[in-house]
Amino acid sequence: MISTGDTLPEATLIQMGENGPEEVRVSSKVKGRKVVIFAVPGAFTPTCHSAHVPSFMRTKNQFAAKGVDEIICVSVNDPFVMKAWGEATGATGAGLTMLADPASEFTKAIGMDFDAPPAGLIARSKRYAMLVEDGKVVALNLEESPGACEISAGEGLLEVI
């Protein structure tokens, strides 16, 4: 599992562009930049929808004041769902970047995948938030339970950076 001090592995995520799905290399998002990446078990799921995304919408300006260039939400969903979810929550309008990890490539590469078959969640991402500077993890807050959103919320990450 990825830890503070580690460099993020290369992986391809997908976002919706003007002409449909577009590949986004993780390295292109983090190289020479200060970025927050937070991940959720699933778009439109209760805690993710009502707590996690709104926490980063609320704190976006505080992160910007600390020099954060971009806040990225990652979920093991398809890019169509992530686009709809970004619109439904107001996250896209608030300036958050919604990226899909449909095959769980990035999530597995950093050791954050988990399964919860009773909830219909297979190869999904654990709930976490990290601050990444030039590709290196400088802060990482991982929730013990996928249903909790405390240390991985925007306010929780702000406390440690």
* Residue 14 near residue 79 (C-beta atoms within 8 A): yes
Catalytic residue among 37, 48, 68, 76: 48
Contact 133, 147 (CB under 8 A): no
Q: Helix axis angle, 53-65 relative to 79-89, nearest 10°?
A: 80
Whether 73 sits among the annotated catalytic residues: the reply is no
Cβ atoms within 10 A of the Cβ of 42, count?
21
The answer to whether residues 63 and 36 touch, using CB atoms and an 8 Å cutoff, is yes
Nearest to 110 by CA among 145, 136, 78: 136
Catalytic sites, residue numbers = 48
